[in-house]
Structure 1
Amino acid sequence: MVDGAARGVVRRSDQTRVSVRSPSTRHLSLFCPPRGTYGALMRRLGVDVGGTFTDLILYDEAGERITVHKLASTPADPSVAILQGVQEVCALAGTEPSELSALLHGTTVGTNTILERRGAKVGMITTEGFRDILHIARHRKPYTFSLMQDIPQQVRPLILRQYRRCVPERMLVDGTVHMPLDEDAVTTQLRYLADEGIESVAICFLGSFANAEHEERVRSLAAQVLPDAFVSVSSDVSPQHREYERFSTAAINAYIGPRVGHYLDRLLEQLRDAGLRRDPHLMQSSGGITTFENGRRYPVNLVLSGPAAGLLGGIDAARRSGFANTITLDVGGTSADICVAPAGQARMKHLLDSSIDHYPVMVPMIDIETIGAGGGSIATVEEGQIIKVGPESAGADPGPAAYGRGGTAATVTDANVVLGRLRPGAFLGGRMPLDADCARRVMTDHVADPLGLSVEDAALGVIAVTVHNMVNAIETNSVRKGYDPREFVLVAAGGAGPLHAAQIARTIGIPHVVVPPHPGVTAAAGLLASDVRYEVAASAWQDLSRLEEADLEAVYRDLEVRVAEHMEDAGFAGGDVLLERAADCRYEGQGYELRVPVPSTAVDVGWATAARQAFEERHEREYFGRFAELAVHVITVRVTGTGGMPELHWPVLGGATSNDGPAPIAEVPVVFATDDGSQRVQTRIYARERLFAGDELSGPAIVEQPDSTTVIPPGASARIDEIGNIVLTIQEPAR
């Protein structure tokens, strides 16, 4: 066996959580070409595509300059807005796409393919007698007490039953071949799928996580019979036990594979035509960067691409302002993404909790709570005179009524226009004028009149419901998991996050809110703060008290070699690669595992003791108990490789040249809620670009910038730090 270190400089570490590196971390890799390669220093571009806007941020090492750009997304073909945005942001920065050293992309194409049911026509080859695993699942209902509900995998199957074809074969749980694969039957079923016009094939056999021989043979046969089809092999996509979750993961990979692959190929071709000379890269759900080629093969790893980038950008902003415990709130046009990061480290989801639209996805994913609450979320009045906001959204086209593009629904953006928090001539730096009359009309027709309220009170009601939804999501992701949100800082990101963050923080009792310099493009900035990551896993099934030490060490070594080879292919042969070992453990008799860090030393008695201690500490933290008398089993082992990106030296904001304090650019009436009802208060408006380090603001105030708007309500104050973050202090917090 070739040792992983032979393929480059490899470091091992016991860390397992995703974190934004400290300023001391600096590596050279494919993302940092030698100085002078293109006649300039490093230029790195982050591109995040949301449901409403496409965000770009370009970092130029020459002068440590940041250029931000935002434009409307093109949902029918996201590459259109990306290409336009790349050309425009390069023009603004005085450069060309050919001079970019890296382009990093966060995409929602895979997610939207599932949500919109626009995936490929998929066939499946599986073990005889088990084609209904995807239908039966685990007999769980999404809503326990609802009699009238749809079971997603039954009413909206990703693979229709007639295309789930069985063949004789059987692999036992220990990897022993119980029944040989009937290759003639496989060929017959593949030909049937070909005749039916199948575009993608999922290969899912029992026991393949222990021995992938049969699945790999079917892959070879599929390449002959269906040469143009996308092939998803369960033991390759998610080599772990639990047949339903593994089958579901492979099915989703097959369902979105052709569309994601076509999108990536088209985007790459267009970027090449525009002059891009470096290979673009993608954000994964795990919070690491990967290659386009890896994204084509495993598109299921991209389903939380954008939200993961937003989280990392928020953590980085908080760290630079001196905060560790972080809650990120990234509110865009369609949804709000919330994540709790104790000590600035994002937690990974339990594999059994990872899903997309109720379909299990057994791949590494950051623990992010997503709710349908964004600027474009539609407000309606339900039976019982109750305001409901979201999850339906007006999207980018036609968008909120205030956009003047024909939208007829009342949205959160319209409510903020009615309240005076979004000024019609200042939205997107004045590039998109808002129609206040349209906003008032839809708010009156759809909310105020049905409730018998003034239009201002109706708008306040819409905001209150939106804030309640976000508060509930934050508490679900923090309090219920053992964290006190009052000990955290709230990072407000996205175009709409800073509009509502202070009200959210006051409701929960969070003392401080951080608004990054470019909150509307935090996800794009997070792409620039991320490292290249690759993870592989294998089944182990060993008792820590009776370890087969040599066998387990061999498995880890094999995984490390695979990771090192992948990182070399990604351009890290001469750079540092950080190798991290982890294990999914459980008590004997339990039906679920917890992932824990394990030592990178050789597997021995000391290793087993450390692994058990790590497991029991996490079990006690998660479930408030440990059981010393029970055996602990290692079910799955993992190795993650991380290649460090060159550190970004963000510009430091200069101090004010006078002692007069910041000067407002306007003073306008804005509606706020008080104990006595709605009240119109004269509010100072500040331009973000005119604020300097050390400037202090008192509420009520509003800070405008092209990519977002920050509301500082009465009773709150704010200070601009040297990083350029707005740090709000929330007074009189709710307790």
Structure 2
Amino acid sequence: MTAAVKQARIGADIGGTFTDVVLEVDGRRESTKILTTYDAPERALLEGIDVVLERAGLRVDDVELIVHGTTLATNALIERKGARTALLTTAGFRDVLELASESRFDQYDLTMQAPTPLVPRTLRVGIAERIAATGEVLLPIDTAAVRAAAAQFRAQEVTSVAIAFLHSYANPDHERAAAAVLAEYLPGVSISLSSEVSPEIREYERFSTTVANAYVQPLVASYLQRLEHKLGTRGFRCPLFLMLSSGGLTTVETAARFPVRLVESGPAGGAIFAASVAAERGINRMLALDVGGTTAKICFIEAARPRISQMFEVARVHRFRKGSGLPLRIPVVEMVEIGAGGGSIAHLDTARRLNVGPRSAGSEPGPACYGRGGKAPTVTDADLVLGRIDPATFAGGSITLDVAAAAAALATLNAWDATSAQLALGVSETVDEAMASAARVHAMENGADTGAHTLFAFGGAAPLHAARIAEKLGIREVVIPRSAGVGSAVGFLRAPIAYEVSRSQHQRLEQFDPDAVNAMLASMAGEAHEIVARTDAAKPRIERRTAFARYCGQGFEIAIDVPTRTLAGDDATLLARTFDTAYRALYGATAQGLAIEVLTWRVSVTTEAAPVRRAVPAPASRKVVPEIKRRVVDPASGEAIDFAVVSRTALEPGDLIAGPALIVEHETTTVVSAAFNATIDSHEYIVLSRRDTLGVPA
């Protein structure tokens, strides 16, 4: 009698400091954290897969699916380590990347820095061609000029080309003709078309997105090819999917073609994880906090769904100000990201004030306490000195931390004759306030009240700081899930197969042309369904349609829902009512008498999500009174006090742990401050509740 085939699924997230790998099978989960190997990212990923398979007692042929997210594209853009890229564009528009939108994100700062284009001016070539916004050809493309540009690019040793012509979103023929010529004269060179990467209005954002795609395409495609090959040589025959910035999964082929859509894949996985937990626990308003080794990500989850934006900025160069980065017109989970993580470096500025981040020690050399050559003080060094981390059990015991090295690194900050504990507390409070401030700003931008939300904390460093951040934000409930330290990788395994297509077509609702819109939406839906069906043609799919509309004369649009059916002429009235409702919800009023226009349309297709297993109240079975104590510096008082220490594996649903306490597990430690008590719910999640709302004695 043959043994039953195990259906194991693996999620792998390559971060700036750690590579997280999670395996799920038969309702159980194995996970590990491996220091990211920058020279060959797949090496740490494969090592992590080996670890979880061994722990689970499985073989490679037991794995039915691998889902992967990576910071490779993001890091290449930030560190300017992409391909030597050229831009072929319409004559007279080679400087669009430099001129940008001509707006100043800080009107009064004379030292304002604008992002340097990824393509230098010497590699930007304009050729004769012109298409109108209606799609009409005004000037045929000069193919001789394209051949001349190809010869120039070959002489300049270009390895990737972005083709971005004016109004190509309305008619892509000229871009396709140019691509055919370049492919003939530049074999082996990657080519990205703006009509495929971002077929939308606003040439600066479209050009920037296409150039970014071309800049990272050879790097990402080469990495994915190596990863697929090495998985194959190890015997893996299961599908490999990539996480998209929008929270869906796609094939390796599509990811290699549009790698710019991977820039926020890790944080998107975390948002999917948070949304699934919100659905399980019936949380309508959630603030998700993902703190890893390099950055902290904050996003709002409303009605168990993350907000999706159509614009994202990467590599902000001027004090992380909005507008100082490279704009990418891609679907992305809406969040704020700051340089605040376990590896963030603490330093004194010119006024001898303490600052933390945005620079990170990463995994090479890492925080001083790692003993890998790092000398700069980091948040992890501070947490170790404060007593929050056990030096012998960090990362499941795979890394033994050096307390003396951490204290020595913190001593370099000593401008006030402070003790190492005081310096560590200063670092911790500074980074906590930075995260709390970012959450406040993000809340104001979204019209939200942080105090009315549940804080969901995951990532290796978030449980260490969540209680203190909740105190600063007035939040009364904090949820720490199982496998919190590898939350994004868990989220990958909960994400649906998905793809989105956006195209611009101008339509004034008072002159609505349903035939033109229906033809375009049908084409978009066919493209999205075809890509999603490649993964599993039998799986049910959900289609959503969205329009981006505004009052005529406005500069920006808002999203409104569009029925997923053939539109008729009288649907203009329905779209107008939908716009009025959405506009009033955002701004409190509408502008009577102004015409409404739609500029861009979007179709998204996703597979059906797995059914949610609702959490049920866990009966209070016992109050846990741990015998082990550890001296930990309490941030509220600044004094070292006894914290109870309990292993998470020893806890059961219904258990109650009174703060102050530390709940220790392989990937992280949850700090239960004196203001909170912790209970274990039916999903074995840790739920921190303010004592005055818990209804039980401390």
Partner of 2:321: none
Output the CA distance in 2 between the equivalents of 1:480 and 1:471: 14
Partner of 1:582: 546
Instruction: Indicate yes or no: 2:329 matched with 1:369.
Output: no
Output the CA distance in 1 between the equivalents of 2:259 and 2:45: 19
Instruction: Indicate yes or no: 2:666 matched with 1:666.
Output: no
- Among 30, 46, 51, the residue aligned to 1:83: 46
Q: Where in structure 2 are there 5+ consecutive unaligned residues?
A: 317-324, 694-698
Instruction: Indicate yes or no: 2:596 matched with 1:641.
Output: no
Contact 2:250–2:532, Cα closer than 8 Å, also in 1: no
Matched to 1:636, the amino acid is T
Offset of 1:476 from its aligned partner? 1.4
- Among 178, 187, 195, the residue aligned to 2:138: 178
Distance 1:411 1:355, change over 3 A: closer
Contact 1:599–1:607, Cα closer than 8 Å, also in 2: no
Contact 1:59–1:65, Cα closer than 8 Å, also in 2: yes
Contact 1:490–1:512, Cα closer than 8 Å, also in 2: yes
Contact 2:580–2:590, Cα closer than 8 Å, also in 1: yes
Partner of 1:22: none
Give deviations 1:470-518, integer Å, cap 9, x for gaps.
0111111113311111221110100000111111111111110000011
Contact 1:239–1:538, Cα closer than 8 Å, also in 2: yes
Output the CA distance in 2 between the equivalents of 1:663 and 1:279: 47
How do 1:188-587 and structure 2 match up within 5 A?
188-351=148-311, 354-357=313-316, 358-444=325-411, 446-447=412-413, 449-571=414-536, 573-587=537-551
| Bigger shift: residues 470-479 or 561-570 | 561-570
Give deviations 1:152-209, integer Å, cap 9, x for gaps.
1xxx321111111111110011000000011111111111111211100000101101
Matched to 2:624, the amino acid is P
Contact 2:618–2:681, Cα closer than 8 Å, also in 1: no
Offset of 1:708 from its aligned partner? 0.7
Offset of 1:41 from its aligned partner? 3.7
* SS in structure 2 of the partner of residue 596 of structure 1: strand
Output the CA distance in 1 between the equivalents of 2:315 and 2:310: 14
Report the TM-score when normalising by structure 1. Answer: 0.90
Give deviations 1:241-299, integer Å, cap 9, x for gaps.
11111011100000011101111111111111111101200001111100110000000
Offset of 1:660 from its aligned partner? 5.5
- The share of aligned pairs that are identical, in percent, is 36
Output the CA distance in 2 between the equivalents of 1:294 and 1:347: 23
Q: Where in structure 1 are there 5+ consecutive unaligned residues?
A: 1-35
Distance 1:325 1:606, change over 3 A: farther
Contact 1:506–1:732, Cα closer than 8 Å, also in 2: no
Output the CA distance in 1 between the equivalents of 2:456 and 2:379: 20
Output the CA distance in 2 between the equivalents of 1:624 and 1:539: 28
Give deviations 1:655-714, integer Å, cap 9, x for gaps.
89xx6543526201111134xx52111110010100100000111100010111100011
Displacement over 4 Å in runs of 4+:
353-356, 645-656
Contact 1:701–1:711, Cα closer than 8 Å, also in 2: yes
Offset of 1:60 from its aligned partner? 0.7
Partner of 1:115: 78
Report the TM-score when normalising by structure 2. Answer: 0.95
Output the CA distance in 1 between the equivalents of 2:266 and 2:524: 28
| Bigger shift: residues 116-125 or 543-552 | 543-552
* SS in structure 2 of the partner of residue 502 of structure 1: helix
Partner of 1:616: 580
Offset of 1:56 from its aligned partner? 1.2
Output the CA distance in 2 between the equivalents of 1:176 and 1:467: 55
Output the CA distance in 1 between the equivalents of 2:616 and 2:41: 33
Distance 1:85 1:665, change over 3 A: farther
Say how many residue pairs are matched: 684
Offset of 1:67 from its aligned partner? 1.2
Offset of 1:577 from its aligned partner? 1.4
Offset of 1:318 from its aligned partner? 3.2
Aligned-pair RMSD on alpha carbons? Answer: 2.0
Contact 2:467–2:673, Cα closer than 8 Å, also in 1: yes
Contact 1:408–1:442, Cα closer than 8 Å, also in 2: yes
Contact 2:386–2:424, Cα closer than 8 Å, also in 1: yes
Contact 2:86–2:160, Cα closer than 8 Å, also in 1: yes
Give deviations 1:393-447, integer Å, cap 9, x for gaps.
1111111111111211111111111111112122122221111111111112x22
Contact 2:622–2:656, Cα closer than 8 Å, also in 1: no
Instruction: Indicate yes or no: 2:79 matched with 1:104.
Output: no
Distance 1:561 1:350, change over 3 A: closer
Offset of 1:620 from its aligned partner? 2.5
- Among 148, 151, 165, the residue aligned to 2:114: 151
Distance 1:426 1:666, change over 3 A: farther
Output the CA distance in 2 between the equivalents of 1:691 and 1:75: 37
Output the CA distance in 2 between the equivalents of 1:653 and 1:80: 43
Offset of 1:350 from its aligned partner? 4.6
Matched to 1:349, the amino acid is S
Contact 1:321–1:725, Cα closer than 8 Å, also in 2: no
Output the CA distance in 2 between the equivalents of 1:732 and 1:77: 51
Output the CA distance in 2 between the equivalents of 1:480 and 1:157: 28
| Bigger shift: residues 610-619 or 552-561 | 610-619
- Among 121, 124, 138, the residue aligned to 2:101: 138
Output the CA distance in 2 between the equivalents of 1:296 and 1:269: 14
Offset of 1:49 from its aligned partner? 0.9
Contact 2:281–2:614, Cα closer than 8 Å, also in 1: no
Output the CA distance in 2 between the equivalents of 1:88 and 1:589: 58
* SS in structure 2 of the partner of residue 241 of structure 1: coil
Contact 1:237–1:249, Cα closer than 8 Å, also in 2: yes
Instruction: Indicate yes or no: 2:592 matched with 1:625.
Output: no
* SS in structure 1 of the partner of residue 515 of structure 2: helix
* SS in structure 2 of the partner of residue 570 of structure 1: coil
Matched to 2:574, the amino acid is A
* SS in structure 2 of the partner of residue 459 of structure 1: helix
* SS in structure 2 of the partner of residue 633 of structure 1: strand
Distance 1:650 1:67, change over 3 A: farther
Matched to 1:610, the amino acid is L
Output the CA distance in 2 between the equivalents of 1:418 and 1:380: 17
Partner of 2:319: none
Contact 1:506–1:730, Cα closer than 8 Å, also in 2: no
Distance 1:73 1:639, change over 3 A: same
Output the CA distance in 1 between the equivalents of 2:670 and 2:464: 5
Offset of 1:649 from its aligned partner? 7.0
Offset of 1:142 from its aligned partner? 4.6
- Among 689, 703, 712, the residue aligned to 2:663: 703
Output the CA distance in 2 between the equivalents of 1:561 and 1:121: 34
Contact 2:625–2:657, Cα closer than 8 Å, also in 1: no
Partner of 1:4: none
- Among 561, 569, 573, the residue aligned to 1:597: 561
Contact 1:86–1:97, Cα closer than 8 Å, also in 2: no
Offset of 1:715 from its aligned partner? 1.9
